[in-house]
Amino acid sequence: MAMINLLPPVAAKQLRASRHNTVLLRYLIGMGVALGLTLTVYTITFILMKRTELQSLSASTESKQKIARFKDTEARAKSYTEDLKIAKSIFSSELSYTTALHKIAGALPQGSVVEALDLNPATISAPVSLAVSAKNKDIALSVKESLEKAKVASNITISSLQEEQAAQGQTSGDYPIQISLNLTFSKSIFTPGDDNA
């Protein structure tokens, strides 16, 4: 069955055009809504990204400040460590004259005392003179043997042995015998601990 079109052709044409316009208007409205939604999503995304960027910059700045503080602390710690190394090297190279004198005195036989001794860094492992006073000749002669046994010195030779003469009417002192020795002290006399006395 065929339908009879009673509308005049101009009106039918206008009716078709109005339908096409309605469809086009729906498409335009749909595209506007879609474009608006797209712009809204992009704007929200941009705002969130900017906020995240600002937070990251703030966190980065705080981290840099903390790192700068830690670097300052690290620099002070390194300086302190260097100072400790310097102090350690000074103390390790320092000569303990008290220890040396204690070891030398401990190596001497009873009844003898040190009269003159030149100890300094230049005389370590170099020949020096040692003057000792003793109560009698036997003790004076045993000084060389005692120093050799204690291993505080090497190359020990007696350079002189003399008795102090008392003035007329006076007695000679407690240590009248003077012995002079040439010897070379070992470095071990300056190190505490292994006491040879």
Range of the domain at 181: 97-166+173-190
Task: Give CA–CA dist 132/51, Å, rounded.
Answer: 90
| Residue 196 is assigned to a structural domain of this protein | no
104 lies in the same domain as 177: yes
Distance of CA 86 to the CA centre of its chain: 10
Poorest-pLDDT segment among 38-47, 56-65, 146-155: 146-155
Count of the separate structural domains present in the chain: 2
Does position 93 have pLDDT exceeding 70, yes or no?
A: no
Which of the four pLDDT bands, split at 50, 70 and 90, describes residue 39? very high
Residue 26 lies in a domain: yes
Where does a domain end: 33, 63, 94? 94
Token pair listed for 127 = 């020949």
Evaluate if residue 151 carries a pLDDT over 60.
Answer: yes
For the chain, what is the radius of gyration of the CA atoms? 53
Same domain? For 113 and 181 the reply is yes
Could you tell me if residue 195 is inside a domain? no
Minimal CA–CA distance to 177: which of 162, 187, 191, 155?
162
Please tell me whether residue 136 adopts helix, strand or coil conformation. coil
Contact between 108 and 189 under an 8 Å Cβ cutoff? The reply is: no
Confidence band of 170 (pLDDT split at 50, 70, 90): very low
Nearest alpha carbon to residue 103 among 147, 139, 156: 147
Q: Are residues 105 and 155 in the same domain?
A: yes
Q: Which residues contact 130 (CB under 8 A, 6 or more apart)?
A: 104, 114, 116, 117, 153, 180, 181, 182, 183
List, in sequence order, every beta strand (DSSP E) within 3-46: none
The CA angle 136-142-146, to the nearest 5 degrees, is: 135
Q: Please check the confidence at residue 167 and state whether its pLDDT lies above 60.
A: no
Question: Does residue 78 lie within any of the structural domains?
Answer: yes
Residues 143 and 158 in one domain: yes
Tell me how crowded residue 139 is: count the other CB atoms within 10 A of its CB: 20
Shared domain check, 82 and 15: yes
